[in-house]
Copies of this chain bind each other. A is one copy, B any other.
C-alpha cells in the first residue's frame, strides 16, 4: 500500500478564489491548525501582483508568522524570479510555477503562449535547482478549457514532458473548471503515463460538477496515482463559474480514499475541524460533506 500524498491548497488556491478578504491572523491560524492534522504539505501563499490577487497580498507575512511544524513543507506560488526571491526570503520550502495545457486559456489568463510562460519561469527553475529547492508546476486546463472545450491528452503530455525536462520535479495536473469525469481521467492518464512517471503527478480536481471524488478514486484505484491537491473545507471557487464549489475538499477526499483502503496522512475529521474556523470567518457554510456533518454534530 503506497501512501497518499496531499498538497493542501486551501490557504492559497482556496482563499484566492473566495471573494472575502481575511485578516493576516486568520490565515496564520488556519495554516497552524492544518499543520497539526498530519498533512505534509501546505501551499501557504502566492507572490503574485497584489493588484491582481489582493487575497494573497500578505503572503510574505503569512509565511513569516506561521508556526512551522516539523516535517511539514510550506510552499508558495511564484510567477517569476522576483516572486521566487520573495518567497524564498519569506521562508518558503518549495515553490510552484504555473502554465496551462490550453493556449487560449494561457493567453487570456497570463497573456502569454504556453511556450512564453515556460520561458518566463525558466530562470526560476534554474535558481531552484541551484538552491536544491523543490519545484512544482501547475498545468491548468488539463482536461477542459473554458474557451477551447476538451483539451487533448497529447497536449498535456507535451507540456508535462517539457516541464520535467526543464527540471521541475512535480506536476499538478489541473481540472481548472471541474468538468472532468472519470472517463476523461482515464483518457488523460492513458496518454500521460506513457511519458510521465506516476510519482511526479498530482491531480488537482475542482468539484464544480460534483465529480472530483469519483475522479480521484478512479485515478488511485485504476492508475495508482497517489498525489492529489485538495482544499480544506472545500474552500475556493472558480472564476469561470459563479457559485461553483472550489477544490475538492481535503476531508472528503481523505475520507473516500481511506474508506477505499488507502493509507492517508491525516484524519478527515481533523481537517474538517481545521477548516471550520476559517469558514466561520468567511461567513459561509462548508461545501464539504464532512464539514456539514461537523456543523450538524455541533448543533449549528
Interfacial residues, chain A to chain B (CB-CB below 8 A): 179, 181-184, 207-211, 213-214, 217-218, 221, 241-245, 249, 252, 255-256, 259-261, 285, 287-290, 292-297, 299-300
Contacts and interface: CB of A to CB of B under 8 A. Distances in A.
A297 B243 contact: yes
Given A208-B289, A209-B289, A241-B296, 8 more contacts: A183-B260, A210-B249, A210-B256, A213-B213, A242-B296, A243-B292, A243-B293, A244-B292
A242 B299 contact: yes
A191 to B, nearest CB: 18
B243 A181 contact: no
Q: Across chains A and B, which 6 residue pairs bring their CB atoms closest together, nearest first?
A: A243-B296, A242-B296, A181-B259, A210-B289, A214-B214, A210-B252
Contacts of A256: 181, 209-211, 214
Contacts of A242: 293, 296-297, 299
A211 B249 CA distance: 12
A289 B183 contact: no
